Amino acid sequence: MKIMEAYLILNKLNYPILSVVMLVPLAGALLCNLIKDQMALKVMGLIVTLLTAALSLPLYFMFDRTTAKYQFAEVRNWIPALDLNYVVGVDGISVLMVLLTTTLMPLCILCSWNYIRERLAEFIFVLLLMEGAMIGVFISLNTVLFYIFWEGMLIPMYLLIAVWGGPGKDYASIKFFLYTLVGSVFLLLAMIVLYIEGGTFFLPELMNHGFTFVLQMVLFIGCAVAFAIKTPLYPFHTWLPVAHVEAPTAGSVILASVLLKMGCYGFLRLVLPIAPDAALYCAPVMLGLAALSLVFGGFLALAQTDIKRLIAYSSVAHMGFVVLGIFLFSAQGIKGALIEMINHGITTGALFICIGIIYERTGSRDIGKNSGLGMLMPVYVTFLTIFSLSALGFPGTNGFVGEFLILVAAFAKYTLVGVLIIPGVVLSAAYMLRLLQKMIWADSDGHYVLPIHAGDGSYVKLFDVNSRELLMLLLLAVFVFWIGLNPAPLLAVIDCSIENLVITFNTAVHH
Amino acid sequence: MMMLLNLFLPELVLIFMALVFFFLSFTRPSAGALQLIAIIFAGIALFACWLTYRNSGTLFAGVYQVDGFSQTFKGLIAFGLILIIWMGSGLRGISRAVRPEYFMFLALSCLGLLLMCSAVELLTIILSIELSSYALYILIPMRQHPGRRAPLEAGIKYILFGAVATGITLYGMSYLFGLAHSTYLAEIMKVLPNLLVHQPIAVIGLVMLLCGLFYKLALFPMHFWMPDIYVGAAHETTCFVATLPKIGAAALLIRLISLAGGDSVHLVWVLSIMAVLSMTLGNLSALGQDDIKRLLAYSSIAHAGYIIVGILSMNELGLVSATYYVYGYMLMNVACFYVIYNLSPEGRNICFSDLKGLYKRSPLMAAILTCGSIGLAGIPPMIGFTGKFLIFIAVLQEKYYWLMGFAVVNVCVSAFYYLRLVRAAYSSIEQETPEIRLDVYTFLLGLLIIVSIIAGGIFPQNFIHLTKIAIGSILYLSR
């Protein structure tokens, strides 16, 4: 207990804020089994997620930006037989992830408002379960807790794809499940080895343990496989496009915005501090894979005709960017990576919501069938443009900040890596602009001629976004410009933790 | 007399229960009344285990050892008995005429299992194994089934395999007796650790002795009976066969293994090969099954492997985790059988196509099946995860990395077919199927199962604490 407190700043609020933020969605999930009415269910889901978001706000405003210690921490006895405690806490890295999760979840409920009609109670249940588990992953400071939440997301996400997914949901969901499970099992092994060798489950203590190189390699491989699958890094990425295409909009948003971040978060939280020598040793491989993801994902995105698939491959490319930033081991690179993680969460989440909106109207995700929307849905198209520009890293949007930091760090450290990234950046402009051009201006065989055929002899008109959709897009657009024009507040939150991470890393490596 | 009551109370309760049902078999009471009586008796047995938990001593000239360890396992068995009787409400799979007898033999089989937990002498061990087996030989063919052949075939198979297993066990015992000149475990214990290192015959003898238990556990190579008995027996009986004998066998196994002293390399090798083969064979065979009961049978062969992995690490945590795992395994299996039983009111075996749309027919049952099957797959926060986690820690403490590797690969393989169960339950179907109505008691049992699977997984501390004391007492005896 005493040793632990050296790393922690115990929660000074009069309620356990982190546990509350994690438990509110879980409690909400249990409650929604009792409600039968559809409308009441949706409202309740929205209220619970908004409440969670509101409860998580103190984490941002009362966050001590001058320390790298874990804040708002709670320590409770859990399984004394294994000397296992329930320890939660956030530092600069995880607090942003928690906030990202709590901010996006209300949007996930909102974007499914009309789309999900059957099994609504279960849908809300699964979403709230996911939220609790995702927050849990980010706040745990204990390997077992981390693993339990990490795996706890698996079944809800599986169900999200398997029950509410598209026509190929069976294949997609099982592929998602098996890939992730294999990764998780490696992670479990690494965590048990950590316990056997390090004698504790408490993460900050393990970080300063100083394992031998061989052991570090074992741990690195165990963790890196799990995180590379989750990230996903080339060549472990093949589950992602399938899962994205089949998942309902809310599922895609969660998957892209939060779940993919877990892998990168794992690298930052576990791999770099616990196995620094191994990370440095394997850095060329990781950088190579990241650069490959970047270029490969870009080329694949360029070839897609399905909008969702395109965005999915663009995610692979973006996450390659993030991993690259992390494995530069410089403060600038890691900061860039973290900002890029947040950005990708906002931008790609927004893009998936955009796709959901158009899919609800035309029933197709084919670029050819959704072209020429410029004159039919001007507001929608404006937002689509904003988010696409943000995705390609246009100056003034949030995407620029992260990519710029990573690029600068790459050139500062290894010029070759910097040169390798350039094609990736160019490609991202190419595929996003191609998408924009087709969807806004092209006049292909689609519904250029109004109104479009609904299939049963009747005709439907394409409506522009309604107020609910406008609200969602507006909120995300605010974040796009806020981070794009004024990233300083975000950087202030992460500064200390990342400086500390890099310093500890460097001392460990030079030691 | 007082001594007998102090130490032998749970067994006496079950003997009395068997007698009561024997007399009830002259009348024709309703299934509900029978069930209520049976649950009350099982509850009293559980209570008796709790009462006698702190007592320890030996009975019948030292062949019967009562201690914290035995009483813990007896308590588990009694608790399992309550769940199983409660689950099979209405005894739909058993014909009306033999229902009182059914409970009578159930009580006798359970009595055998309780005796197993306390037996510390070779002949007593054989007697207890046989008592529990003989009752089961009769229970298995008792099934209301259109074709009488399958249950009878299952019964015959069980008898034949059981007889072979007993034969091997007796043969092994004769070796041990020859080497140690005693049938008392306490005497054998003094010479066995030394013998195991120097005399290969002692390893052979011990492994052959253990075959009787492997038969109960359905561990490779004593697993052949499992799938056919599962398919042939009534759902209620299968649930019993699948769970409780394993608890009894695990208890005896832990007692016997702790004899070996923990440093017998040969024994560890033999056991780990059996465990690996059992896990691999069980999981791979389960992948292709369509009949749910057959799938569960193969999965339970695999789970026997995990249990052995925990036991063969032979440290305190390993034995504790094996106990915890058996308990979790029982809960999760009861969960699966709960669904099977309530899904086929006419007692027919069900396959994947019957599970389709279960979500619409009964959300609770779909949830129970999900909890049970992903728990068996070892996904947190279910009890199956915590069990596997503890076992893996124990194995790695002993540095059996390759064993761990096999176990982990098997976890991945098994996840596939457990997930098929969940997927079937949540997949939609076109045609309308009638809603499944559960009565209040069954509904409550369902909730209880879900809660205990999840809560047991998240808060294992109490259980670990309890078994740690129990295991500590026998480890202390053997060192």
Which H, E and C letters describe chain B, residue by residue? CHHHHHHHHHHHHHHHHHHHHHHHCCCCCCHHHHHHHHHHHHHHHHHHHHHCCCCCEEECCCCEEECHHHHHHHHHHHHHHHHHHHHCCCCCCCCHHHHHHHHHHHHHHHHHHHHHHHECEHHHHHHHHHHHHHHHHHHCCCCCCCCCHHHHHHHHHHHHHHHHHHHHHHHHHHHHHHHHCCCEHHHHHHHHHHHHHHCHHHHHHHHHHHHHHHHHHCCCCCCCHHHHHHHHCCHHHHHHHHHHHHHHHHHHHHHHHHHHCCCCHHHHHHHHHHHHHHHHHHHHHHHCCCEHHHHHHHHHHHHHHHHHHHHHCCCHHHHHHHHHHHHHHHHHHHHHHHHHHHHCCCCCCCEHHHHCCHHHHCHHHHHHHHHHHHHHHCCCCCHHHHHHHHHHHHHHHCCCHHHHHHHHHHHHHHHHHHHHHHHHHHCCCCCCCCCCCCCHHHHHHHHHHHHHHHHHHHCCHHHHHHHHHHHHHHHHHHC
Determine, for residues B464 and A79 on separate chains, whether the beta-carbon distance falls below 8 Å.
yes
Nearest chain A alpha carbon to B416:
A178
The reported pLDDT for the residue numbered A460 is 56
* Alpha-carbon gap, residue A17 to A5, rounded angstroms: 18
The reported pLDDT for the residue numbered B307 is 93
Q: Which of A402, A407, A412, A408 is nearest to A490 (CA)?
A: A402
The number of CA neighbours under 13 Å toward the Cβ of A283 is 19
Looking at the complex, report in whole angstroms how far the Cα of residue B83 sits from the nearest Cα belonging to chain A: 25
Looking at the complex, report in whole angstroms how far the Cα of residue B392 sits from the nearest Cα belonging to chain A: 7
Looking at the complex, report in whole angstroms how far the Cα of residue B167 sits from the nearest Cα belonging to chain A: 41
Read off the tokens for B194. Answer: 């030394």
- Within 56-95 of A, beta carbons closer than 8 Å to B belong to 78-82
The reported pLDDT for the residue numbered A106 is 92
Read off the tokens for A166. Answer: 């598209």
Question: What proportions of chain A, in percent to the nearest 5, are helix, strand and coil?
Answer: 75, 5, 20
* Alpha-carbon gap, residue A265 to A249, rounded angstroms: 23
Q: Which of B314, B318, B307, B190 is nearest to B243 (CA)?
A: B307
- Specify which residues A87 forms β-bridges with: A75
Q: Which of B258, B196, B15 is nearest to B115 (CA)?
A: B15
- Specify which residues B351 forms β-bridges with: B291
**What residues in A contact B422, CB-CB < 8 Å?**
155, 158-159
Provide the b/e sequence for A223-249 (b: ≥16 CB within 10 Å). Answer: bbbbbbbbbbbbebbebbbbbbbbbbb
What does the CA dihedral A230, A235, A237, A238 come to, rounded to 10 degrees? Answer: -140
Q: Which residues in chain B come in under a pLDDT of 50?
A: 479
Provide the b/e sequence for A11-42 (b: ≥16 CB within 10 Å). Answer: beeeebbbbebbebbbebbeebeebeeeeebb
* Alpha-carbon gap, residue B339 to B235, rounded angstroms: 10
Looking at the complex, report in whole angstroms how far the Cα of residue A43 sits from the nearest Cα belonging to chain B: 22
* Alpha-carbon gap, residue A28 to A124, rounded angstroms: 9
**What residues in A contact B370, CB-CB < 8 Å?**
155
pTM here is 0.91
pLDDT (tens place) for every residue of chain A, 511 residues total = 667 778 888 888 888 999 999 999 999 998 888 888 888 899 999 999 999 999 999 999 988 888 888 999 999 888 888 888 899 999 999 999 999 999 999 999 998 888 888 788 889 999 999 999 999 999 999 999 999 999 988 889 998 898 888 888 888 988 898 898 888 888 988 998 899 888 888 888 888 888 889 999 999 999 999 999 998 888 888 899 999 989 998 999 999 999 999 999 999 999 999 999 999 999 999 999 999 999 989 999 998 889 999 999 999 999 999 999 999 999 999 999 999 999 999 999 999 999 998 888 888 888 877 777 777 788 999 999 999 999 988 888 988 999 999 999 999 988 888 888 888 889 999 999 999 888 888 765 544 444 555 555 444 567 788 888 899 999 999 999 999 999 999 899 999 999 999 998 988 887 7
Which of A144, A150, A151, A197 is the best substitution to test chain B (most B C-beta atoms within 10 A)? A151
Handedness of CA B373, B377, B379, B380 (dihedral sign): positive
The burial class, CB within 10 Å (0-12 / 13-18 / 19+), for B7 is buried
Handedness of CA A294, A297, A301, A302 (dihedral sign): positive
Looking at the complex, report in whole angstroms how far the Cα of residue A104 sits from the nearest Cα belonging to chain B: 25
CB B474 within 8 A of CB A91: no
Q: Is the peptide bond before A276 cis (omega within 30 degrees of 0)?
A: no
**Residues 6 or more apart whose Cβ sits within 8 Å of residue B299:** B282, B283, B286, B376, B414, B417, B418
User: Looking at the complex, does the CB of residue B393 fall below 8 Å from at least one CB of chain A?
Assistant: yes
The reported pLDDT for the residue numbered A362 is 80
Q: Which of B184, B224, B162, B174 is nearest to B204 (CA)?
A: B174
3-class SS of residue A365: coil
* Alpha-carbon gap, residue A431 to B336, rounded angstroms: 49
3-class SS of residue A71: strand
CB B3 within 8 A of CB B89: no
Read off the tokens for A472. Answer: 């969602």
- Specify which residues B65 forms β-bridges with: B58
Q: Is the peptide bond before B381 cis (omega within 30 degrees of 0)?
A: yes
- Measure CB to CB from residue A181 to each of B389, B412, B465 and give the nearest one: B412
Looking at the complex, report in whole angstroms how far the Cα of residue B185 sits from the nearest Cα belonging to chain A: 30
Q: Which amino acid is at B273?
A: I
User: Looking at the complex, does the CB of residue B426 fall below 8 Å from at least one CB of chain A?
Assistant: yes
Determine, for residues B416 and A148 on separate chains, whether the beta-carbon distance falls below 8 Å.
no
Read off the tokens for A117. Answer: 């009609």
| Phi, psi dihedral angles at A451 (to 5 degrees) | -85, 170
* Alpha-carbon gap, residue B169 to A185, rounded angstroms: 38
Chain position carrying tokens 């556990």 = B217
CB A168 within 8 A of CB A245: yes
Nearest chain B alpha carbon to A79:
B461
User: Looking at the complex, does the CB of residue B404 fall below 8 Å from at least one CB of chain A?
Assistant: yes
Determine, for residues A178 and B396 on separate chains, whether the beta-carbon distance falls below 8 Å.
no
The reported pLDDT for the residue numbered A449 is 45
Read off the tokens for B347. Answer: 């007692």
The number of CA neighbours under 13 Å toward the Cβ of B472 is 6
- Within 128-147 of A, beta carbons closer than 8 Å to B belong to 144, 147
User: Looking at the complex, does the CB of residue A195 fall below 8 Å from at least one CB of chain B?
Assistant: yes
CB A493 within 8 A of CB A92: yes
- Measure CB to CB from residue B380 to each of A79, A151, A174 and give the nearest one: A151
CB A91 within 8 A of CB A497: yes
Q: Which of B433, B440, B417, B429 is nearest to B284 (CA)?
A: B417
**What residues in B contact A163, CB-CB < 8 Å?**
426
* Alpha-carbon gap, residue B125 to B145, rounded angstroms: 34
Determine, for residues B393 and A192 on separate chains, whether the beta-carbon distance falls below 8 Å.
yes
* Alpha-carbon gap, residue A145 to A143, rounded angstroms: 5
CB B251 within 8 A of CB B78: no
3-class SS of residue A216: helix
Q: Which amino acid is at B45?
A: A
Read off the tokens for B149. Answer: 């052949």
The reported pLDDT for the residue numbered A458 is 46
Read off the tokens for A321. Answer: 């960017």
The reported pLDDT for the residue numbered A2 is 64
Q: Which amino acid is at A267?
A: F
User: Looking at the complex, does the CB of residue A173 fall below 8 Å from at least one CB of chain B?
Assistant: yes
The number of CA neighbours under 13 Å toward the Cβ of A125 is 18
